[in-house]
Amino acid sequence: MLLDLLRPFSFLTITHPTRKPLIINWILPMILAAIVTSLGFFTSEKIDIFGSSGLISRLLGFIQSLPGFYIAALAAIATFNNKDMLKPMPGTPPIGTVVYNGYPERIPMNRRRFLSSMFAYLTVLSIGLTLLAVAFLTVAPILKDVVSPENCQILKSAATYIYIVFVCQMVSVTLWGLYYLGDRLHTPDSLDFSPPDSQSTQIP
């Protein structure tokens, strides 16, 4: 039963020969988070991160409104009345993990399963980031009374980096999903580039 509750995280197990999932899910977010964290570490006197109006608090105001959007998108994807949604994705489809009769199986993804897995993960991620931000804002004010200033700065930098990694991942995956819903899903798998009939294109 516990494993069923963790199924939204199966999106992170999707693989593809182009390594696009790896790049979008991890490499790009980690690079962006390293840049943001570095700026915050070297300018900690000027940038408020854990204060009541700091970076985490401002991100919390944005992230806590996202679960409703993701759930609505997930419901729409699950009810799309389009037979193409059940076809394997064109070319070399991504491979995902499903649980069949209690055993994990690696299968090619169709559009519905891929998008449903994506927005289910985004829903859980946005909820988790909201709760994590609340925890950070609660613990940060008393942390300086428990550990030394040097260790406090290290802990805050590490916590900031981890949090920003997943914020960047959420943005990156969301943009990927919006691209797929707004563009790729409506693009034919193949286009007919045959030249038009010359007689039918004569200018009157």
Backbone angles phi, psi at 145, to 5 degrees: -85, -10
> What tokens appear for 142 in the block?
């008393």
pLDDT at 87: 79
pLDDT at 202: 38
pLDDT at 167: 97
What is the rounded CA–CA span in Å between residue 187 and residue 179? 11
DSSP helix/strand/coil, 79: coil
pLDDT at 43: 62
Residues of the chain predicted below pLDDT 70: 1, 40-46, 189-204
pLDDT at 184: 79
> Looking at residue 189, what DSSP letter applies?
S
pLDDT at 42: 66
Domain layout of the chain by residue ranges: 2-185
Centre a 10 Å sphere on the Cβ of residue 58 and count the other Cβ atoms it contains.
12
> What tokens appear for 5 in the block?
């509750």
Q: Enumerate residues 6+ apart whose C-beta is below 8 A from 42.
A: none
- Give start and end residues of each alpha helix (H) in the chain: 2-5, 20-22, 28-42, 55-63, 66-78, 111-143, 149-182
pLDDT at 45: 59
Backbone angles phi, psi at 61, to 5 degrees: -60, -30
> What tokens appear for 53 in the block?
């109006």
pLDDT at 120: 96
pLDDT at 89: 85
Contact 176, 118 (CB under 8 A): yes
What is the rounded CA–CA span in Å between residue 101 and residue 194? 48
